[in-house]
């Protein structure tokens, strides 16, 4: 509990790529007046920096880990909130659109598997959550970043459903891609995220699991707020 405001808690929402956890997390944070942090955007910003600076192999998306680790002190990541929009800043530049491109999706999981990258970002994330009143989504929030979070959710859905959702999102944004390319990326990232040595994607023992394959956006938002209300009233 935050001693200055004992009603504030920490909320960790983890799950598979494109499971809809970011939109659920953002909606919950807005409804209850909490700060929302998209930890995936932070890994994407580091991956973009690596991509721009020639640290990613064109052949197989492997990373020059030594160069990236040496460059970590030069990478500053922040978030800027304008009205309802939250943008990711990489060294002060708004890179919100660029970090969602397929080129970044294809190299982000190898970047996120580097232990030194994880240590740097986890430390930043823990600092952001020091005063509680935060909703953070990602892969290791309930297991590694905030193992003592009062509310933990783990979101899953079939790979086909997730790829279809991500494809619709990308088409809406005018990003050229195909279902096959998106599905291959979702499956490959799941595999790298689940099998890496350092804080792999894993459901925390005390997380509540949600399979939202057959749920509408409204249904999943209501499910999350009901869970939050139950947890708050039990504290």
Among 11, 25, 28, 40, binds ligand CDP (CB under 6 A): 40
Asked if 120 and 72 touch (Cβ cutoff 8 Å), the reply is: yes
Among 63, 75, 106, 138, binds ligand CDP (CB under 6 A): 138
Paired with 120 in beta bridges are none
Asked if 200 and 112 touch (Cβ cutoff 8 Å), the reply is: no
| SS percent in the chain: helix, strand, coil, step 5 | 50, 20, 30
d(C-alpha 36, C-alpha 13), whole Å: 11
Among 109, 212, 220, 221, binds ligand CDP (CB under 6 A): 109
In the complex with ligand CDP, the residue whose CB is nearer, 3 or 171, is 171
Helix (H) or strand (E) holding 209: strand 208-211
Residue range at the interface with ligand CDP (CB under 6 A); choices 1-9, 85-93, 105-113, 224-232:
105-113
In the complex with ligand CDP, the residue whose CB is nearer, 64 or 198, is 198
As given in the structure block, the two tokens for residue 19 are 């499971």
x/- track of binding to ligand CDP for residues 60-99 (CB under 6 A) = ----------------------------------------
Residue range at the interface with ligand CDP (CB under 6 A); choices 40-48, 90-98, 148-156, 168-176:
40-48
Residue range at the interface with ligand CDP (CB under 6 A); choices 77-85, 88-96, 126-134, 135-143:
135-143
# residues near ligand CDP by CB under 6 A: 16
Among 25, 36, 37, 44, binds ligand CDP (CB under 6 A): 44
> Does 43 engage in binding with ligand CDP (CB under 6 A)?
yes
Which residues, other chains included, contact 180 with Cβ-Cβ below 8 Å and sequence gap of 6+? none
- H helices present in the chain, as ranges: 21-32, 39-52, 65-71, 102-112, 115-128, 159-172, 179-195, 217-234
> Does 143 engage in binding with ligand CDP (CB under 6 A)?
no
Asked if 152 and 14 touch (Cβ cutoff 8 Å), the reply is: yes
In the complex with ligand CDP, the residue whose CB is nearer, 9 or 121, is 121
3-state secondary structure 35-49: EEEEHHHHHHHHHHH
Interface residues with ligand CDP (CB under 6 A) are 17-18, 22, 39-40, 43-44, 108-109, 112, 138-141, 189, 193
């Amino acid at each position: 509990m935050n001693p200055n405001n004992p009603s504030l808690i920490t909320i960790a929402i983890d799950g598979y790529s494109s499971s809809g956890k970011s939109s659920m997390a953002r909606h919950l944070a807005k409804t209850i007046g909490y700060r929302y942090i998209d930890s995936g955007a932070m890994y994407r910003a580091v991956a973009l920096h690596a991509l721009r600076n020639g640290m990613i192999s064109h052949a197989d998306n492997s990373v020059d880990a030594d160069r990236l680790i040496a460059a970590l002190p030069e990478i500053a990541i922040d978030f800027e909130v304008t009205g309802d929009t939250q943008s990711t800043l990489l060294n002060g530049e708004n890179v919100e659109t660029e970090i969602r491109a397929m080129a970044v999706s294809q190299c982000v999981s190898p970047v996120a598997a580097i232990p030194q990258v994880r240590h740097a970002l986890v430390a930043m994330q823990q600092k952001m959550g020091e005063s509680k009143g935060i909703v953070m989504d990602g892969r290791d929030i309930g297991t590694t970043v905030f193992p003592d979070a009062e509310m933990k959710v783990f979101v899953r859905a079939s790979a086909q459903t997730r790829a279809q959702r991500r494809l619709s999102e990308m088409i809406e944004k005018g990003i050229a891609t195909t279902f096959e390319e998106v599905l291959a990326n979702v499956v490959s990232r799941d595999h790298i995220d689940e099998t890496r040595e350092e804080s792999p994607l894993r459901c925390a023992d005390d997380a509540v699991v949600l399979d939202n394959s057959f749920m509408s956006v409204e249904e999943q938002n209501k499910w999350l707020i009901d869970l939050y209300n139950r947890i708050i009233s039990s504290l």
